[in-house]
Amino acid sequence: MWSHTRSLDVLLLVTTVAPAELVRVATSFGPGGSGDRARIARSAGLGVPAAYLAVTGLGVALVLSTGGAPAYLDLRAAGPLWLLAAACAGCALVGLEFVVGAAPRVLRGTRGLRLAVQRGPGGAGPAFLASIVVTAVAEEVLYRGLWIGTLHERLHAPAWLAICCAAVGYALGHLFFGGLTVVQKLLSGGAFGVLLTASGSLAVPLAAHLAQNLTVYALARKQASAP
């Protein structure tokens, strides 16, 4: 039987798909409108993590008010082997995303491709590091803890379906950065979901996500210092 609580659970999922798009909407009302990509990029460094924190915080508050937090929000220690596996997976996902990103150019016959990462408008400084760390934490709480927890535990969806839905939501959350990024993040989101359900601890996909983002940060620093 469909209940008021289930309706709120579905509403939670629908309204938290792409917090970063709030930045695009907010900046579209300023000078230059939505076509001012430089201004939107400058706003992203602060706006994207702020949007994720706000949306995730509201999502957690809603879930707590309608029946308690899903077990997948548990950050209990997962053991050193799980954390090591998570760190390795996070680093490997950087390479996988590069392969996906390079595939269209390879198919067009482009040669001499170099690994490059997206950086914040202020470069690869402390602000960029803080932004990607905060965003990673908020994304894992939102898409893995809340999304998979809500779908699997509260709406009784199979684990594989919950993982897939959360991966799609996570990928769509990167529309702000372009269509190719959505495809890349679909794969990463699936991997993070598998790590969560296999380990039972949100700490594991969070460790993988942080390892991925810190690897990106290290590459961005190297890229910035290259002649």
Query: Tens digit of pLDDT for each residue in 37-88?
Result: 555 555 667 888 999 999 999 999 888 887 777 889 888 878 899 999 999 9
What is the reported pLDDT for 11?
86
Mean pLDDT lowest among 96-100, 144-148, 201-205, 209-213: 96-100
**Residue found under tokens 């927890």:** 149
* Residue bearing the bigger pLDDT, 211 or 38: 211
Q: Would you say residue 29 has pLDDT above 60?
A: no
**Residue 117: how many CB atoms within 10 A of its CB?**
19
Q: What is the pLDDT of residue 44?
A: 64
Q: Who wins on pLDDT, 154 or 106? A: 154
The per-residue pLDDT for range 158-199, each reduced to its tens digit, is 999 999 999 999 999 998 788 889 999 999 999 999 999 999
pLDDT at residue 53 in the model: 94
Q: Give the per-residue pLDDT at 139.
A: 97
pLDDT per position as a tens digit, 93-105: 999 999 888 877 7
Query: How distant, in Å, are the alpha carbons of 2, 55, 70 from that of 8?
Result: 11, 15, 14
At 1, the pLDDT band (50, 70, 90 cuts) reads very low
| pLDDT, the chain, mean | 84
pLDDT at residue 147 in the model: 96
Percent of the chain, pLDDT > 70? 82
Q: Which of 193, 200, 194, 207 is nearest to 83 (CA)?
A: 207
Integer CA distances (angstroms), 200 to 93, 94, 147, in order: 21, 24, 14
Predicted model pTM:
0.88
CB-hemisphere CA count at 13 Å for 170? Answer: 32
Q: How many domains in the chain?
A: 1
Sign, CA torsion 69/70/71/72: negative
Assess whether pLDDT exceeds 70 at residue 2: no
Q: Residue 150's closest CA among 49, 50, 207, 66? A: 66
Domain membership of residue 180 as a residue range:
4-225
Question: Mean pLDDT throughout 148-159?
Answer: 93
* Rounded Cα–Cα distance for residues 204 and 201 (Å): 6
C-beta atoms surrounding 43 within 10 Å: 18
